[in-house]
Amino acid sequence: EHTIATMPTTRQAGCPFDPPKELTQAREQSPISRFTFPDGHQGWVVTGYDLVRSILADQRFSSRRELMRHHPLIDYGDIEVPPAPPGEFLLMDEPQHSRYRRPLVGKFTVRRMRLLTERVEQITADHLDAMEQAGPPADLVTAFAKPIPAMVICELLGVPYEDRAVFQENIDKFMSGETSDEELVAAYTATQQYLAELVAAKRANPTDDVLSDLTDGDLTDEELKGMSLVLLAGGLDTTTNMLALGTFALLRNPAQLAALRAEPALADQAVEELLRYLTIAKTGQRVALEDVEVGGQTIKAGTTVVLSYNTANRDPERFPDPHVLDLRRRAGGHVAFGHGIHQCLGQQLARVEMRVAFSALFGRFPTLRLAVPADEVALRPETADIYGVKSLPVTWDA
């Protein structure tokens, strides 16, 4: 039986794209390790690909928020966590989860998302225009990686143009985790309030967007607000960090970037491989609802299991030479979007955004490069839910 003493809080210097080495070493020993949480809870960490997938597909493991009482890095003591509010289906099990996810599924199909391609192209072109006009250098996060996903979500929810600046400012504040508690609460409250007003406005005057469509069904305003919040929470920070960290990774792998430039048809595969290689949603969590046998261990009812998506996506039994970024690899089947009933609802949209944004960025700036030495790029700490860069200074020949 293998044990992990603590969850690593840093990555190895010089290897910003690789999972912390302690987790990789754990997986080399065993796909599942015992782990004592900082608050003393006796749980598990799962690092192997097959085992991560099988737990995600197993509904004896719960996502209910009220059961998520242990944090792998922080001791919150013996806390009571309330159930997820109406509509926040990411942290619910069946049948509640389906009540909210089902009416959304049809809105996020490959076909519907492809229809959005032109809008995403326009939004991307606008931001590249602004970047070009301002001239080098630029912070790719603020100029590109943040505003594009934010504008796309605004389209999806039908946020009117005149509201977008304030809306984006608020979501920016509560997503970044960098502002003070007071400001964070204020920004979160303002966003909640805004979404409540938006739902009411769409019910009164439906427009051509996902939120308006949903006012047709039997969902209450409160539920629609919760669902909108899940879309924001799921779709912004993730896509932003894939765009920024993905750009960083491509700039650090010039042969791969050159291949992508020479062969635009590689874009879909490239996106899949970047998702696997970077796995910015590093970990997930589930709680066993009953005693379950997995990987030769019995996970007791009530026990918390940390799922390491980034080591799963670097499992050599599933992905040969896993630490190599190879845009030609068949990376499909990765767990960067999770797996099972909670598998990312917005994945087709995220794919469209990444394909469009990477192609446009590298097409527009053939000489794009880092404006600082690579080891000075400020990375997010392991304590952040989503991995990525805080900023990415870039420059180009104007």
336 touching ligand HEM, by CB under 6 A = yes
Of 342, 358, 365, 377, the residue at the interface with ligand HEM (CB under 6 A) is: 342
345 touching ligand HEM, by CB under 6 A = yes
Q: Could you give phi then psi for residue 103, rounded to 5 degrees?
A: -65, -15
Q: Find the angle CA(225)-CA(227)-CA(231) to the nearest 5 degrees.
A: 115
284 touching ligand HEM, by CB under 6 A = yes
393 touching ligand HEM, by CB under 6 A = no
The residue assigned the tokens 């039908």 is 158
User: The tokens of 56 are what?
Assistant: 């995600």
Of 231, 270, 288, 360, the residue at the interface with ligand HEM (CB under 6 A) is: 231
Contact 315, 333 (CB under 8 A): no
Residues 132-161 interacting with ligand HEM (rule: CB under 6 A): 153
Contact 187, 170 (CB under 8 A): yes
Residue 242: count of CB within 10 angstroms of its CB: 29
Of 23, 46, 90, 128, the residue at the interface with ligand HEM (CB under 6 A) is: 90
Q: Which is nearer to ligand HEM, 314 or 342 (CB)?
A: 342
Write the interaction track for ligand HEM spanning residues 100-119; mark x where CB under 6 A is met and - where it is not.
Answer: -x------------------
Residue 15: count of CB within 10 angstroms of its CB: 11
Contact 212, 103 (CB under 8 A): no
String of DSSP letters for 132-190: HHH-S-EEHIIIIITHHHHHHHHHHHT--GGGHHHHHHHHHHHHHS-S-HHHHHHHHHH
Q: Quick one: which segment of 2-10, 157-165, 331-339, 373-381 binds ligand HEM (CB under 6 A)? A: 331-339
344 touching ligand HEM, by CB under 6 A = yes
- Shortest reach from residue 354's CB to ligand HEM, in Å: 7
281 touching ligand HEM, by CB under 6 A = yes
280 touching ligand HEM, by CB under 6 A = yes
- Shortest reach from residue 78's CB to ligand HEM, in Å: 24
246 touching ligand HEM, by CB under 6 A = no
H/E stretch holding 237 reads helix 237-251
- Shortest reach from residue 135's CB to ligand HEM, in Å: 29
Contact 235, 288 (CB under 8 A): no
Q: Quick one: which segment of 72-80, 204-212, 253-261, 333-341 binds ligand HEM (CB under 6 A)? A: 333-341
**Residues 6 or more apart in contact with residue 145 via CB below 8 angstroms:** 240, 241, 243, 244, 247, 392
Q: Which is nearer to ligand HEM, 144 or 337 (CB)?
A: 337
Of 44, 174, 277, 337, the residue at the interface with ligand HEM (CB under 6 A) is: 337
**Residues 6 or more apart in contact with residue 187 via CB below 8 angstroms:** 169, 170, 171, 172, 173, 174, 179
Contact 307, 286 (CB under 8 A): yes
Of 51, 230, 325, 361, the residue at the interface with ligand HEM (CB under 6 A) is: 230
Residues 55-74 interacting with ligand HEM (rule: CB under 6 A): 63
Residues 166-225 interacting with ligand HEM (rule: CB under 6 A): none
Report the interface residues with ligand HEM, using CB under 6 A: 63, 89-90, 101, 153, 230-231, 234-235, 238-239, 242, 280-281, 284, 336-338, 342, 344-346, 349-350
